[in-house]
Amino acid sequence: MPIATTVELEPLLDRVKKPAQYLGGEHNARSKPWETAATRMALCFPDAYEIGMSNLAMNLLYELVNDQTSHLCDRCFAPLPDMADAMRDNGVQLWGWESRRRLGEFDIVGFSMSYESGNTNVLEMLDLAGIPLESKNRTDSDPIILGGGSAVTNPEPMADFFDLIAIGEGEELLLRILDLHEEFDRSTTGWRDSFLDACAHRIPGIYVPARYRPKYNEDGAFLGHSRVDPQLPAQIERQYVDINSFVGPERPVVPNTGVVHDRVAIELDRGCARACRFCQAGYLYRPVRQRRADLVEKTVESCMTTTGQSEVSLLSLNAVDYEGLDQLIDNVYDTSEEYVRVSIPSTRVETFNVDIANALQRGGKRGGSLTFAPEAATPRMREVINKEISDEDLLTTCDMAFGRGFRTIKLYFMIGQPTETLEDSEAIAHLANRVMEIGRRHHGNKAKVNVTVSTFIPKPFTPFQWHPQDRSEIIQAKQKACLEIARDRNIHLMWHDPEESHIEALLALGDRRVGRAIKGAWERGCRFDGWTEHFKPASWFEAIDAAGLDLSWYIHRQRSVEEPLPWDIVDIFVTKRMLQREYARAIEAGTSGPAPSN
């Protein structure tokens, strides 16, 4: 039964902040006929509308399915706590933004998982939808629950909750799942099991957790997976696509309310050849694929026409490595309306140059900001993480950027990486002071330096996956030392709560037992864990204890390079041998240059 907005939502809207976010019907939203759709899918983002609407994968998959297939793709975002309360009080179940159908009516409910702090929101959304939380409790009348995205490349912590997990890039995988679903008759008893089996056997890149069982020894150490059927693949191979085989989104949905990135986002390329040793994205999105400049320009043109936006962000892990970036930006300005402005995300210091700075400044907004990510502040630490830049590179680049009219420089650093000392972390603040001095020379009091210091999370599929995370007291000591040194009032230092970083590490490195802690945390009221105002560390720690898990064993332990890892079930086409070699080099403060081969 469709939910009638006027009857079901109106009483709720009076009780919530920013009610427009729940209404759908935005400019460019698609509303395909429900009855004639081949497969009906709800594409869900486990965070608020204002964040999900800024997510490129959401926009891209939504347009791809709706515009190029006979399937229907609706959207759904996590209701904020005030809306969740109102829904429970009024017995209203979670719905698709376009169709206003309950999620339980869809064939497939797919979650785009960009970060682990969305895990508890997946449970919250399933619960609000009246769908059983765990795969084992679902029946033929429930939708198939699918997860995909970089946060589930280690699929084990969420394995109990997803029926299917897509490993790798989603464009082709998703279409294969929807097409395969079309072959099944949902009114047949047992269709669900047959469909899951078909996915496991017929679609490379699809992991069906219920068909694989984790094994542990009597001490609780993970030993590997067994398959319920020897015909199933022993490892799930990460999938990737040719990014020149499609463009998009060309007609992105224009949000009804303010969102975190209120601009058009267009992907320049995928992958990064730099191989920084902490960086999961650098390993997960190989090989590097550059989108043709003519396709990027065509997409910019369509998006500006179809959305009326004034800013376009050219997304990339490492935009300055895009061949011909300055020319591309110039071409965009040459062919766009005068009010259009182009931005790029954080850039590498050593390859940022005058041509790119000049091209960006053509946007006419003097005094903007530029973001650089040196990640470490001493030459030794940069060797450890394999980021070969010098202080001189950074200072010269900042001098050039301030000189070209940029007034704010944003710098990203990370503390807690392998072999780091207190002096290495203090160097972050010393470097920020030096950048500030340069800024003041150019812009006086108007210059600003914003420094974000994140905490190292050992990530699967990186050379640092075996390395322990710093304990809270060490992280806090490093943060305090930085604060005492960077005292200039125009330097703004930001960092992450160490407890939040510990939970993120647990969710990144966990095995299937961690699912019990995720469920326990959600039962204790945890959701929106990435939001400082909603994060409840005490509830998380209680849930971890209640699940019988030792947090320290998961995140503060030096892992042996010999031990089986929960994510060995996934093959990302980077060998463990190469990761081990890189880890050893890091510990010796060695460096091996860009893109080491297997």
At closest approach, how far in Å is the CB of 83 from ligand SF4? 35
At closest approach, how far in Å is the CB of 386 from ligand SF4? 8
At closest approach, how far in Å is the CB of 415 from ligand SF4? 15
Cβ atoms of 159 and 518 closer than 8 Å: no
CB nearer to ligand SF4: pick between 318 and 425: 318
Cβ atoms of 515 and 159 closer than 8 Å: yes
Cβ atoms of 30 and 62 closer than 8 Å: yes
At closest approach, how far in Å is the CB of 281 from ligand SF4? 5
CB nearer to ligand SF4: pick between 29 and 281: 281
Cβ atoms of 232 and 2 closer than 8 Å: no
**Helix (H, G, I), strand (E, B), or coil: what is residue 465?**
helix
Looking from the CA of 308 toward its CB, the CA atoms found within 13 Å total: 5
CB nearer to ligand SF4: pick between 209 and 282: 282
Q: How far apart are CA 504 and CA 475, in angstroms?
A: 15
Give me Rg for the CA atoms of the chain. 24
CB nearer to ligand SF4: pick between 282 and 416: 282
At closest approach, how far in Å is the CB of 279 from ligand SF4? 3
Question: What dihedral angle (degrees, nearest 10) is formed by the CA atoms of 126, 130, 131, 136?
Answer: 110
At closest approach, how far in Å is the CB of 278 from ligand SF4? 7
Cβ atoms of 524 and 536 closer than 8 Å: yes
Contact positions vs ligand SF4 (CB under 6 A): 272, 274-276, 279, 281-282, 317-318, 348
Within 8 A by CB and 6+ apart from 156, the residues are 209, 214, 510, 511, 512, 514, 515, 566, 567, 569
Q: What is the largest CA-CA distance in the chain?
A: 74
CB nearer to ligand SF4: pick between 119 and 462: 462
Q: Which residue has the closest beta carbon to ligand SF4?
A: 282
Cβ atoms of 549 and 589 closer than 8 Å: no
CB nearer to ligand SF4: pick between 122 and 377: 377
DSSP string, 170-204: HHHHHHHHHHHHHTS-TTSTTHHHHHHHHHHHHST
**Helix (H, G, I), strand (E, B), or coil: what is residue 147?**
strand
At closest approach, how far in Å is the CB of 321 from ligand SF4? 8
Scanning 374-471, the segments in alpha helix (DSSP H) are 379-385, 391-403, 422-443
Other Cβ atoms within 10 Å of 263 Cβ, number? 17
CA angle (179, 161, 515) in 5-degree steps: 145
Q: How far apart are CA 395 and CA 58, in angstroms?
A: 37
Scanning 308-349, the segments in alpha helix (DSSP H) are 325-335
At closest approach, how far in Å is the CB of 499 from ligand SF4? 24
CB nearer to ligand SF4: pick between 279 and 356: 279
At closest approach, how far in Å is the CB of 479 from ligand SF4? 21
Q: How far apart are CA 500 and CA 537, in angstroms?
A: 7
CB nearer to ligand SF4: pick between 133 and 276: 276
Cβ atoms of 230 and 198 closer than 8 Å: no
CB nearer to ligand SF4: pick between 195 and 278: 278
CB nearer to ligand SF4: pick between 243 and 279: 279
Does a cis peptide bond (omega within 30 degrees of 0) precede residue 157? no
- Which amino acid belongs to residue 228? V
CB nearer to ligand SF4: pick between 75 and 348: 348
At closest approach, how far in Å is the CB of 285 from ligand SF4? 8
Strand (E) positions, 522-586? Answer: 570-571
CB nearer to ligand SF4: pick between 192 and 274: 274
At closest approach, how far in Å is the CB of 155 from ligand SF4? 22
At closest approach, how far in Å is the CB of 351 from ligand SF4? 10
